[in-house]
Chain A
Amino acid sequence: MVGIVIVSHSAKVAEGIVELAAEMAADNGHIIAAGGLSDGGIGTDPLRIQAAIEQADTGDGVAVLADIGSSIMSAETAIEFLEGSGIRVRIADAPVLEGAVSACAASAGGTSLDEVIAAAEEARGFSKLA
């Protein structure tokens, strides 16, 4: 099953998104929060993201959903540190909450990493009022 990592500047946001998204999956063991700093502060930490990716991977790869600003830079740094580890990681270009819910639903259906990323990125276009 494709693992999912939620990156946010806030630990609470990341944990909250994991809580919501996990409802879409029977097995929620592979959705990992990587929010905030190790001292509890607001921010992003490439080493925490790296550890979360390692934890989320079961061999099928990991999709990363990230919030604003340095989240992407920190996730890219983490992915660089994982080069040579054999773990396949992709960042979804998607809104973090909606993307996470779609990614979880796709991952629970047993799809590939590329399909999970595509599902997350589709969430960009969903209209909430239509």
Chain B
Amino acid sequence: MASHIYECIEKIGQSIIDNRGFLTELDREIGDADHGINMARGFGEVLAQLPADNEDIGAALKKTGMVLLSKVGGASGPLYGTACLEAAKVCAGRTALTAEDGKTVFAAVIAGIQKRGKAVRGEKTMLDAIIPASEAYAAAVDAGAPVDACLDAMCEAAKEGAEYTASIRATKGRASYLGDRSIGHKDPGAASSLLAMEAIRSYVKGA
């Protein structure tokens, strides 16, 4: 039987692969039209290489991180790859996570992306979806909300954050070459982050 972590990563990968056209179109507007291609290539390889029966969340995230790092090909590879490697460290040896653990994982993910890309909130990147999502999730957990409600709050904030990227100018990544012309278009990385978080929510709710 496939492990929980495998099924969760599979759900994320499937959503990314199903949305490759959408992500690539977003990247056509303000980048080099490859974000969906990059991410689908990376997750295709993750699903081919990840052992389905390993319950160790840290090990699964480490493998996922190494594959994304090497196979995605664009900036999102080292960024999501490093995020997974940092998350792997805080999940080493774990076979289940609590709602509280989710906060630690978020912190590790954000630290990984910032270590690699040196961006902050407001630069029109994936962080504009992930940071508000992390804050909304933590606030819901701290308020004692049930897990489903915490994940709803997370996805709601991620969605708002991804929409917000359309209103700002890019100062990191390829879209920054466009300057003000990047305004009016959503950031592809924020869109893929939202898809990943929605997949996690749908996995947890369905499990």
Contacts and interface: CB of A to CB of B under 8 A. Distances in A.
Interface of A: 9, 37-38, 41-48, 69-70, 73-74, 76-77
Interface of B: 34, 38, 41, 66, 69-75, 77-79, 81-82, 116-117, 173-174
Nearest to B173: A69
B117 A73 contact: yes
Main secondary structure of the interface of B (DSSP, over half): helix
A9 B74 CA distance: 9
A77 B81 contact: yes
Contacts of B41: 41
Given A73-B116, A73-B117, A77-B78, A47 B69 contact: yes
A70 B78 contact: yes
B77 A70 contact: yes
A45 to B, nearest CB: 5
A38 B45 CA distance: 12
Given A41-B41, A43-B38, A73 B75 contact: yes
B173 A74 contact: no
17 contacts: A38-B71, A41-B41, A43-B38, A43-B77, A44-B73, A44-B74, A44-B77, A45-B77, A46-B70, A46-B77, A47-B66, A48-B70, A69-B74, A69-B173, A70-B78, A77-B82, A77-B116
Question: In this complex, which of B75, B78, B116 has the most chain A Cβ atoms within 10 angstroms of its Cβ?
Answer: B78
Contacts of A47: 66, 69-70
Question: In this complex, which of B71, B79, B81 has the most chain A Cβ atoms within 10 angstroms of its Cβ?
Answer: B71
